[in-house]
Structure 1
Amino acid sequence: MALDAQEVAMRMIRTPTLDIACETHGPEGGPVAILLHGFPYGARDYDKVAPVLAVEGWHVLVPHLRGHGPTHFLREDTPRSGQQAALGQDLLDLMDALAIEHAVVAGYDWGGRAACIAAALAPERVTGLLSCNGYNIQDIPNSGRPAPPARELRYWYQWYFHTERGATAMAENPAAVNLLLWQLWSPDYNFTDEEFDATAALWQNPDYAAVVIQSYRHRHRAAPGDPAYDAMEAALAQQPLITVPTVVLHGESDNVDPPENSADCQKHFTGRFAREVLPGIGHCIPREAPEAFLAGLRALKG
């Protein structure tokens, strides 16, 4: 089912830090699902998921993360941080602004990280978690420990973003960098030019490059965080357990975060748990395997 742009209601939701552009689908009285995109992608990831859920009676929210699309900061002096605590707090702030008591939260990459943080630190707000690629909370205190060389190679773009050369590339031509990442991370996914261009338009946000670069530098302790999130980062440094019902999906062909990386992730989850590896699927699961993503959400509906 393709998304008709005319079916989308776009709302600007004011939080203490941002005006968050949020696409909404389905009846407001239905069970709430918040679908969170990752890097280097955008809200278009859910074009084959959100409308189906809406028909089934869900109230679906697809926010544009900080630095993406029409979302913008309220103050010029707010640090343009992409650190994990900022993403998690944005999700909780969005729920507060909309008076959402609890929801199923789902995502991958940056969005999966925000969803895991909300589930770990505010489990009373999360009725279920769909997390692509397992436990996505970063272990920043131990980020200086070398990974196996093969994994370090997959993360070349992160080391690139640590340089001024990489930061300039992201500021001047994010589409060129991100196109390569799409191709590398999902080698079996034949996306169209139109599909890529629709998402690339969301990277024209004036804060995009700054948020991206800070995110990848901060996780390796190469850039300071926003002091507003120090307390949350301290809590995340403890690698908190996630107690809510969880479905983990992992693409077998994911070429940046291969499925062996989540093979033992169940140790981080204490509630009802299921994990599935998806053959022929890469990094962007809701875009590449919408039916599997939908099935995971339905299993969490309760």
Structure 2
Amino acid sequence: MKSIKAGYLNIHYHETGPECGDPVILLHGFPYDARAYDAVASTLAGRGYRCLVPYLRGFGPTSFLSPDTMRSGQQAALGADLLAFMDALSIGTALLGGYDWGGRAACIAAALWPERVRGLVSCGQGYNIQNIANASTPAPAVEEARYWYMYYFHTERGRAGLTHNRRDICRYIWSLWSPSWRFDDVAWDATAPSFDNPDFVEIVLHSYRHRFGGIIGDSAYDGIEAWLASQPNIAVPTIVLQGRDDGVDPPIAEDLDRPHFTGFYERRIIDGTGHNLPQEAPEDFAAAMLTLAKNQ
């Protein structure tokens, strides 16, 4: 494991592959961590790519440089963290891959700073930039039910639950969101300590409260949030991967995300796979990254 000061954070990350290889940055989601990419990074490193897998703010050993920095989990913070990470490592351009929170960070970078992104693999919700202005619009009941954890985290009962029962909650979410993934204790035990980060609870709560417009964000990101409010399109080459068995964001026949992508675009639905796609189907994830790399 390595670490580097980037923006407001001391970001810890795993690096595999030759230092001179083309950089690939892989970004995890909630409630997962960098270990989700162990197999993907190994495959890509074996093909000569320099793979960097950071722990997002609030996860694992990644920490804030100052106790005075707001513990924000808003989307703009995630995108800014990614850009700061690239700048700190003097990475001019990179292939990006991500899912859930990490997919959001990757989509934001691709939309706002396309000159830094050579290609994008986005899992689950392909266009993963939140439309906060429209967040109060209700969804069908079956969809609302899948978001129980978001509403739970809006309550002080949810705060207490996440504080005292975080591993129980996160393991339950793993099973709900990936019903066909038979993960074992070894896989769980490799990731679970990341939820012990002292900022985990505050950042998770802020993330889910901010996306509904119910809480203010960090003013340092007001400019980026204003930019994202326009729902900017993504022009970089993109492959969207969706798990057929995703328990929180299952694919539907109509590709509603397609209009947001103006360059090369492909959607692949992976059978027998849920929400944690890079860990459940690392061969498919690595294949998508290699497709984009080959078409540079």
TM-score (norm 1): 0.96
Task: Please give the alpha-carbon distance, in whole angstroms, between the structure 1 residues aligned to 2:155 and 2:275.
Answer: 25
Q: Deviations over 1:28-49 (max 9, x none)?
A: 1111100000000001100111
How far has the Cα of 1:261 moved from its partner?
A: 8.3
* Alignment correspondent of 1:193: 185
Is 1:158 the equivalent of 2:141? no
**Map of 1:6 onto structure 2:** none
- Mark the CA change 1:262 to 1:17 in structure 2 (over 3 Å): closer, same or farther: farther
In 2, the alpha carbon distance for the partners of 1:23 and 1:294 equals 17
Aligned to 2:26: 35
Per-residue CA deviations over 1:84-136 (Å, capped at 9, x if unaligned) read 00000000000000110000000000000000000000000000000002100
For residue 61 of structure 2, give the secondary structure of its aligned residue in structure 1.
coil
Give the distance between the partners of 1:195 and 1:154, measured in 2 at CA.
Answer: 24
Structure 2: stretches of 5+ with no match in the other structure: none
Partner of 1:170: 162
Consecutive unaligned residues of structure 1, counting only runs of 5 or more, are 1-9
Match of 1:15 in 2: 6
Q: Deviations over 1:56-98 (max 9, x none)?
A: 1000000000001110001111110111000000000000001
Q: How does 1:82-161 map to 2 (within 5 A)?
A: 82-133=73-124, 134-161=126-153
The residue matched to 1:47 in structure 2 has which SS?
A: helix
Secondary structure, counterpart of 1:300 in structure 2: helix
Give the corresponding residue for 1:4. Answer: none
When residues 197 and 85 of structure 1 are mapped into structure 2, their CA distance, relative to the original with a 3 A threshold, is: same
The one of 268, 284, 287 aligned to 1:295? 287
Does the CA-based 8 Å contact 1:135-1:262 persist in structure 2?
Answer: no
Task: State the 1:15 CA deviation.
Answer: 1.3
Could you say what secondary structure the match of 2:51 adopts?
A: strand
Question: In the aligned structure 1, how far is the partner of 2:100 from the partner of 2:146?
Answer: 15
Aligned to 2:42: 51
CA root-mean-square deviation: 0.9
Any runs of at least 4 consecutive aligned residues in structure 1 with deviations exceeding 4 A, and if so which? none
Report the count of equivalent residues: 293
TM-score after normalising by structure 2? 0.98
Structure 1 residue 262 displacement after superposition: 7.1
- SS of match in other structure, 1:119: helix
Per the alignment, residue 217 of structure 2 pairs with: 225
Q: Partners of 1:20 and 1:101 in 2: how far apart?
A: 18
Q: Which residue of 1 aligns with 2:17?
A: 26
